[in-house]
């Protein structure tokens, strides 16, 4: 095994297996434990989950390798990709990927069964942690500490950014000052924040809602059915509607009474009143699509 670790490592601590050596590695009796990821990472296979899962698995393998650098100390992390091991996949009767199998030792003080433990990959949160916990719970005497690699580039960027800002503060400040103190900018930012939050942005953020979704007839549906759901596109429409309605109210309250021309003012007021009326009608129309039993509406959108 240690030879393999030296010769066929693709990443530190991760052994690449193939049809030829797979059976040798897992055959009982064995005095070591092997974790096998049976996967199909080639883009042509179209296995999204395989590619999502790989980095988490690599992180666990690397973390183990970091504490046991020379030899595996009885635990080896391996990968068998479909393109190297088609025969193995067939003989194991595997039709889906990825699969994570943990073979415990069959000899020695922690001996266990020859057959592997199967880790359920689908729907498990907190990935690297749950892999390591699963391995620890099935292999007595193993303790894995996850070492997340530090993202030095981010730290570097932050530090240099701070230094640049601090250094240029004196020279830039006179130009930035009016921006920082501008009431229009602050008001604009506040309104954007409020419009974003009240149109359900946080819901999209937390639930990872799709932007649009397909419907049964094969078309695209922009508005999610149901009161408790929404699509990304839908919330943008609502945010824009709110923005126009709010701007209409602002125009009526602040802009229009400052127009120093009676005709112009009448046109402005008339336009904004019409816009508010129509958009409010649209808003209630969309709301009725979400909540079928809602009785209120104003023309023109009264269906």
Is 9:64 a contact under the CB 8 Å cutoff?
no
C-alpha torsion sign, points 88, 93, 94, 100: negative
Q: Which CB atom, from 213 or from 273, has the smaller least distance to other proteins?
A: 273
Q: Find the part of the chain contacting other proteins (CB under 8 A) among 22-30, 33-41, 157-165, 265-273.
A: 265-273
When binding is defined by CB under 8 A, the residue of 12, 113, 161, 270 that contacts other proteins is 270
Least CB distance from residue 170 to other proteins, whole Å?
Answer: 17
Please name every residue paired with 37 in a beta bridge, in sequence order, or none if there are none: 79, 100
Q: Which CB atom, from 63 or from 204, has the smaller least distance to other proteins?
A: 204
When binding is defined by CB under 8 A, the residue of 206, 216, 219, 303 that contacts other proteins is 206
Q: Which residues contact 36 (CB under 8 A, 6 or more apart)?
A: 17, 26, 78, 79, 80, 100, 101, 102, 103, 116
Q: Find the part of the chain contacting other proteins (CB under 8 A) among 24-32, 68-76, 212-220, 268-276.
A: 268-276
- Distance between CA atoms of 274 and 300, rounded to whole angstroms? 11
Is 146:129 a contact under the CB 8 Å cutoff?
yes
Binding mask 208-247 for other proteins (x = CB under 8 A): -------------------xxxx---xx--x--xxx-xxx
Q: Find the part of the chain contacting other proteins (CB under 8 A) among 9-17, 164-172, 197-205, 213-221.
A: 197-205
- Distance between CA atoms of 46 and 1, rounded to whole angstroms? 31
Q: Which CB atom, from 1 or from 276, has the smaller least distance to other proteins?
A: 276
Residue 301 in tokens: 């959108």
Collapsing DSSP to helix, strand or coil, 92 comes out as helix
Q: Which CB atom, from 54 or from 245, has the smaller least distance to other proteins?
A: 245
- Distance between CA atoms of 258 and 251, rounded to whole angstroms? 10
Question: Does 298 interact with other proteins (rule: CB under 8 A)?
Answer: yes
Question: Does 49 interact with other proteins (rule: CB under 8 A)?
Answer: no
Site for other proteins in 135-194 (CB under 8 A): 137, 178, 181-184, 186-187, 190-191, 193-194
Site for other proteins in 77-116 (CB under 8 A): none
Please name every residue paired with 171 in a beta bridge, in sequence order, or none if there are none: none
Taking the C-alpha atoms of 24, 77, 134 and 101 in order, what is their torsion angle to the nearest 10 degrees? -40
Q: Find the part of the chain contacting other proteins (CB under 8 A) among 10-18, 108-116, 158-166, 292-300.
A: 292-300
Q: Which CB atom, from 76 or from 272, has the smaller least distance to other proteins?
A: 272
Residue 5 in tokens: 């670790």
Question: Does 275 interact with other proteins (rule: CB under 8 A)?
Answer: no
């Amino acid at each position: 095994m240690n030879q393999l670790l030296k010769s066929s490592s693709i990443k530190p601590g991760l052994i690449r297996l193939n049809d030829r050596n797979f059976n040798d590695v897992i055959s009982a009796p064995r005095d070591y434990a092997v974790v096998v990821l049976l996967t199909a990472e080639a883009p042509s296979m179209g296995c999204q989950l395989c590619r999502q899962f790989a980095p988490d698995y690599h992180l666990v393998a690397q973390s183990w390798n970091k504490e046991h650098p020379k030899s595996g100390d009885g635990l080896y992390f391996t990968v068998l990709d479909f393109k190297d091991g088609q025969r193995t996949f067939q003989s194991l009767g595997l039709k889906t990927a990825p699969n994570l199998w943990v073979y415990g030792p069959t000899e020695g003080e922690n001996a266990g069964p020859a057959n592997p433990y199967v880790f359920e990959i689908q729907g498990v949160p907190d990935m690297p942690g749950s892999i390591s916990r699963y391995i620890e719970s099935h292999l007595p005497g193993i303790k894995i500490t996850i070492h997340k690699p530090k993202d030095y580039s981010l730290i570097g960027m932050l530090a240099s950014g701070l230094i640049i800002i601090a250094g240029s503060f004196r020279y830039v400040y006179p130009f930035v000052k009016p921006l920082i103190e501008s009431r229009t900018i602050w008001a604009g930012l506040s309104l954007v924040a409020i419009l974003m939050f009240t149109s359900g942005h946080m819901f999209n953020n937390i639930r990872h809602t799709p932007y649009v979704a397909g419907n049964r007839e094969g078309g695209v549906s922009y508005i999610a059915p149901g009161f408790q759901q929404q699509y990304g596109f839908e919330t943008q429409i609502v945010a824009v509607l709110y923005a126009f309605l709010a701007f209409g109210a602002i125009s009526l309250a602040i802009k229009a009474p400052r127009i120093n021309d009676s005709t112009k003012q009448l046109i402005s007021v008339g336009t904004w009143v019409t816009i508010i009326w129509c958009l409010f009608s649209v808003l209630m129309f969309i709301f009725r699509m979400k909540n079928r039993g809602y009785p209120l509406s104003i023309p023109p959108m009264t269906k």
